[in-house]
């Protein structure tokens, strides 16, 4: 290989690597900007006063995470077990229950919360039955378009919340959102001497955290790699030139 070509390659390869690292760093910064914009939207929606669920737009991108209220009657016979959900390191499931809203034939699926399940799949649903009628508060979540992975043996146990599949299982039209219930059930005081019933309230879910993730630290890492590649390439080129002299 000619000396001049070898010298060019000695510098060109590190510079090419540095350009890739810089591009990855810029990409991480763009992801950070997207995350901050999303957090700003989320903060605005989650701090606004709750609105009636029926008033939400059918454009789920605009209604996602809005605080909402709804009232109706739970249909526990068509409840969905959302399997494979963990909480603080413990296996469990989410209970997704249709709420029949008065005056409409459309059901809204309500995520009532998390319950412990050793295999993250099976649970005694009767143990977690709350009152039939309820007035709830929560936030609007969207469905996931994915393979529902339905087993004929357990048709109401799903690993993804696929709207068409759930509509078939519920045997009724369903709203385009899921309400994630995060209010607290108020219980009436019991007469003296009457023992309290077993608490049937699942652990309510909270809003997703408004953190910025690791995008900024990843960007700094990529830029550091780029600097190392440039400095290393210059030093290697200088040493190569001195040996050729």
| Residues 77-120: tens digit of each pLDDT | 999 999 999 999 999 999 999 999 888 888 999 999 999 999 99
Predicted confidence at residue 24, as pLDDT, reads 94
Same-domain check for residues 71 and 134:
yes
Task: Assess whether 77 and 36 both reside in one domain.
Answer: no
User: Residues 6 or more apart from 194 whose CB is under 8 A from it?
Assistant: none
| Domain match, 83 and 174 both | yes
132 lies in some domain:
yes
In a domain, residue 151? The reply is yes
Number of domains in the chain: 2
Low-confidence ranges of the chain (pLDDT < 50): 186-190, 194-197
Residue 110 is assigned to a structural domain of this protein: yes
What pLDDT, in 10s, does the model give residues 129-148?
A: 999 999 999 999 999 877 66
The DSSP output letter for 76 is G
Residues 171 and 83 in one domain: yes
Phi-psi region for residue 163, left (φ > 0), alpha (ψ -120 to 50) or beta? alpha
Instruction: Mark whether 34 and 126 lie in a shared domain.
Output: no
Q: Are residues 7 and 87 in the same domain?
A: no
> Do 102 and 20 fall into the same domain?
no
Alpha carbon distance 152, 13 (integer Å): 57
What count of Cα atoms within 13 Å lies in the side-chain half-sphere of residue 120?
9
On whether both 171 and 87 belong to a single domain, the answer is: yes
Whether residue 225 sits in one domain with residue 120: no
Which of these three, 128, 163, 181, is where a domain ends? 181
Task: Say yes or no: 36 and 110 in one domain.
Answer: no
**Range of 72's domain?**
66-181
Cα 100–chain centre separation:
25
DSSP, residue by residue, 193-235: TPPPPPP---B---PPP---TTHHHHHHHHHHHHHHHHHHHHH
What pLDDT, on a 0 to 100 scale, did the predictor assign at position 4? Answer: 63
198 falls within a domain:
no
Model pLDDT, residue 189? 47
pLDDT of residue 245: 61
Decide which of 160, 181, 202 is a domain's last residue: 181
- Establish if 197 belongs to a structural domain: no
Q: Is residue 163 part of a domain?
A: yes
What contacts 24+ positions apart, CB below 8 Å, involve 162-168? 166/80, 166/96, 166/109
Strand partners, 142: 177
Residues in the chain: 245
Question: What's the Rg (C-alpha) of the chain?
Answer: 27
Say what the pTM is.
0.73
206 inside domain: no
- The pLDDT value recorded for residue 43 is 83
At which of 154, 181, 208 does a domain end?
181
**234 in the same domain as 176:** no
Same domain, 39 and 129: no
Q: Is residue 205 part of a domain?
A: no
């Amino acid at each position: 290989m000619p000396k001049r070509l070898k010298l060019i390659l000695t510098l060109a390869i590190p510079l090419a690597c540095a350009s890739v690292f810089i591009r990855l760093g810029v990409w991480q910064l763009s992801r950070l900007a997207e995350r901050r914009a999303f957090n700003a939207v989320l903060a605005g929606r989650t701090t606004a006063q709750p609105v009636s669920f029926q008033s939400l737009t059918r454009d789920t991108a605009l209604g996602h995470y809005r605080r909402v209220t709804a009232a109706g009657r739970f249909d526990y016979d068509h409840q969905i077990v959302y399997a494979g959900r963990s909480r603080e390191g413990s296996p469990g499931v989410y209970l997704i229950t249709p709420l029949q809203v008065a005056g409409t034939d459309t059901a809204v699926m309500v995520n009532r919360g998390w319950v412990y399940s050793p295999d993250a799949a099976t649970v005694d649903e009767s143990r977690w039955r709350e009152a039939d009628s309820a007035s709830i508060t929560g936030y609007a979540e969207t469905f996931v378009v994915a393979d529902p992975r339905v087993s004929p043996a357990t048709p109401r146990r799903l690993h993804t919340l696929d709207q068409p599949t759930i509509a078939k299982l519920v045997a009724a039209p369903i709203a385009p959102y899921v309400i994630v219930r995060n209010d607290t059930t108020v219980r009436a005081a019991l007469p003296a001497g009457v023992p309290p019933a077993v608490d049937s309230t699942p652990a309510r879910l909270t809003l997703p955290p408004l953190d910025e993730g690791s995008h900024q630290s990843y960007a700094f890492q990529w830029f550091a790699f780029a600097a190392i590649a440039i400095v290393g390439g210059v030093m290697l080129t200088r040493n190569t030139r001195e040996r050729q002299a």
